[in-house]
Structure 1
């Protein structure tokens, strides 16, 4: 059975973006930190960092933020960038401001370009991030593409062949699955994450993607109830669905 990690309270709260250790000590002395409904005055003590801690600890009148190891499912809107540093609206701006100061930092698991919307995962768990994006895992990503011109019927066989070579590359794409919805709309499932891959695949057939939306990663689907810009924390069972 894995050993439960422990941490000093001030170190934990500082790493979660609440402030410096000195600030946490002052907040505790003022009665601003409670554990199991009792004031926690000494933030130098070590406590078990268990999954139920956010339900048991209050900081400045609010429940503790999610402990390290969280995975966030976001419905990424258009015109928002998956970056920590670029100019303009960033996906991290859609999360609580304090979360920008967390260490380990929250990062996107792969990226969606500015003109692509839909399912985006973010985490502060580096090991999990690399498991999901590893080429060895073959995690399937499904996109809904709306196209400028009608499909001609040859795209499915080409994408599934494993022989399609994108311009400027030396290795053909892995087989991908195309499901036609209408003459100008399709679902495309890929297991790779090459630069602008879906757009370039349709461009190779002489078509142009006008609208692109990611719906699924593995067995995890974007809930219909999650509006653009909204997000939710994933449970362990939901995280496991990514690898199905």
Structure 2
């Protein structure tokens, strides 16, 4: 989203979620939009790329004007959709302004309602394309708690590249499984098939009771608290 040309003030603010053109006009008329401390009065004023960092709205700098990338610690019970009627959405956990950006924010590497952990949210199309392309290789690391003691043989099964999932016509790519404790495993994947970790365990007779993602590519959840987010 990096902009190399001057942009109209109202277009700039609207694209960053500050409201419709009318709402932005109201902010400007109220003297709440400034450039280097001077109130801006013309919504059509062109803002040069080098000046964007100096614009303030109600005293605050513009947030991620070149594109937003956020790490979110998704709790269980939230869904990765903007649609209403499917339950609590992850977008209730982040500032409402982000959902009004243009292009809109979206989640990358979705997690189902019953899975917690690291989720990336962005409005940067090039990142979405990079991470969701069939040709992309992005490591994702999960911690799974299962319903019965794990067996050492699962390590080789997951790594074999021959494990088949129901209703699929090609085997899973090799995955790394580390047995952490009697019923806890750490699984590293480079694919993103539907409910893949749960289905891989189910194919061998184990039920995943809890699933938590701790890594996505170069990003690590670290100490980020449940329900909290951080711009990266």
When normalised by structure 2's length, the TM-score is 0.93
Structure 2: distance between partners of 1:72 and 1:31: 30
Equivalent residue, structure 2, for 1:31 = 31
| Shift of residue 99, structure 1, vs aligned partner | 1.9
When normalised by structure 1's length, the TM-score is 0.89
Equivalent residue, structure 1, for 2:215 = 216
| Residues 1:5 and 1:175: Cα distance change in structure 2 (over 3 Å) | farther
Equivalent residue, structure 2, for 1:90 = 89
Structure 1: tracts of 5 or more residues without a match: 235-244
Equivalent residue, structure 2, for 1:240 = none
| Shift of residue 85, structure 1, vs aligned partner | 0.3
| Shift of residue 164, structure 1, vs aligned partner | 0.5
1:163–1:172 contact (8 Å) kept in structure 2: yes
Equivalent residue, structure 1, for 2:183 = 184
Equivalent residue, structure 2, for 1:66 = 64
Equivalent residue, structure 1, for 2:151 = 152
After superposition, where does 1:101-180 map in structure 2 within 5 Å? Answer: 101-180=100-179
2:140–2:216 contact (8 Å) kept in structure 1: yes
1:69 aligned counterpart, secondary structure: coil
| Shift of residue 172, structure 1, vs aligned partner | 0.5
1:100 aligned counterpart, secondary structure: helix
Structure 2: distance between partners of 1:148 and 1:136: 34
Equivalent residue, structure 1, for 2:204 = 205
Q: Which moved more, 1:137-146 or 1:25-34?
A: 25-34
| Shift of residue 22, structure 1, vs aligned partner | 3.0
How many equivalent residue pairs?
A: 230
How large is the RMSD of aligned CA atoms in angstroms? Answer: 1.7
1:68–1:124 contact (8 Å) kept in structure 2: no
1:145 aligned counterpart, secondary structure: strand
Structure 2: tracts of 5 or more residues without a match: none
Structure 1: distance between partners of 2:93 and 2:60: 19
Structure 1: distance between partners of 2:71 and 2:97: 18
Question: How far does the alpha carbon of each residue in 1:115-153 deviate from its partner, in whole angstroms, 9 at most, with x for none?
Answer: 100000011011211101223221000000011111111
Structure 1 stretches of 4+ with a deviation exceeding 3 A read none
